[in-house]
Amino acid sequence: MEFTAKQLAQALKGTVEGDPQAKITSFAKIEHGKPGQLCFYANPKYEKYVYTCKASILLVNKDFVPKQNVTPTLIRVEDAYKSLADLLKYAATQKRTDRRHRGFRSSWFLTTKFGKKVYLGSHSYVGHHAEVGDYTKIYENVYVGDNTKIGSHCIIYPGVVIYPGMIIGNNVIIHSNAVIGSDGFGNAPLPDGTWEKIEHLGNVIIGDNVEIGACTTIDRSEMESTIIGNGVKIDNLCQIAHNVQIGENTAIAAQCGIAGSTKIGKNCILAGQVGIVGHLEIADNTTLGAQCGVIGNIKKPGQVFLGSPSLPIKSYLRSYAIFKRQGEE
């Protein structure tokens, strides 16, 4: 897959500002853009990255006026978010065209690498060019997609679905009916009030010594990776959205939901039913009490929060004392 700025501008009905022959072969978030990649800018919150981005091409709205010099070639379009959705859809279509789903065949084991003493249960499928490490157990009715890598000493319980291209470390436990790598909930609004699906071409990377509870879902990213750090423990029935990053040794209790592109630090504790909105940063060693609703960044490490919207514990207890008395009057 390779595109020039001129080709993309023609396809997206945009205009080129810079080198029309600038080429890209992949996509990235604006804060991570490198040469050979395409990024997009639509949310004003990310404007600071426009001026540090090293990507070859940057999609922007046609009315965007930069305040500093910009390195990438710009493609100006009516709606950068919508245009990215169109572009990802085209790239996904090309990718699907290249896949070969022929079911079980005699050459299957020639393209799939199994380590020593791997257990593969009945009715489980491991895709082409996948890798499974030593002593890993894959129980019955598991689906492992093409090009997925699973480390050593893992346990994949019955009913787990692992989409193509996922990366799973060593000593990982995934409980029944968890789904790793489903599309994120990304949709671009259209003028007529309908929504257009944004294709997700990224993956999920799970570190070593991670445990993932039953019926938990971890969505793949649009362009890069959803990342679960080493030692993370996730309970049952949790939702981890696209582009989320969870730091090492963080523990997440049942029914938590983390919206897209949020970064959670190391050694955090999320009690049951915590909800975190998207695009936030949560500092290391943060504790969020049950049913916390987090709507803003938490920058200071080591704090404890309660309530919805969440407040530092001392502020919450003072507030609770006031509204408890009011309810008794």
Query: Per-residue pLDDT for 101 more than 50?
Result: no
Query: Per-residue pLDDT for 294 more than 80?
Result: yes
Contacts of 48 (CB under 8 A, 6+ apart): none
pLDDT at 2: 85
pLDDT at 295: 97
Answer whether 28's CB lies under 8 Å from 39's CB: yes
Look at 84 and 275; give whichever has higher pLDDT: 275
Give the Cα separation of 31 and 320 in Å (integer): 40
pTM of the model: 0.83
- Of the residues 128, 175, 200, 242, which is catalytic? 242
Query: Per-residue pLDDT for 97 more than 60?
Result: no
In percent, the amount of the chain with pLDDT more than 70 equals: 94
Domains of the chain, CATH where assigned: 3-98 (3.40.1390.10), 178-318 (2.160.10.10)
Work out the angle between the directed axes of helices 80-98 and 5-12 (0-180°, nearest 10): 110
Number of Cβ within a 10 Å radius of residue 329: 4
- Is 175 considered catalytic here? no
| pLDDT 10s digits, 5-20 | 999 999 899 999 999 9
Mean per-residue pLDDT, 313-322: 90
| pLDDT 10s digits, 25-53 | 988 889 989 999 999 998 898 999 999 99
Give the Cα separation of 185 and 255 in Å (integer): 17
Query: Per-residue pLDDT for 327 more than 70?
Result: no
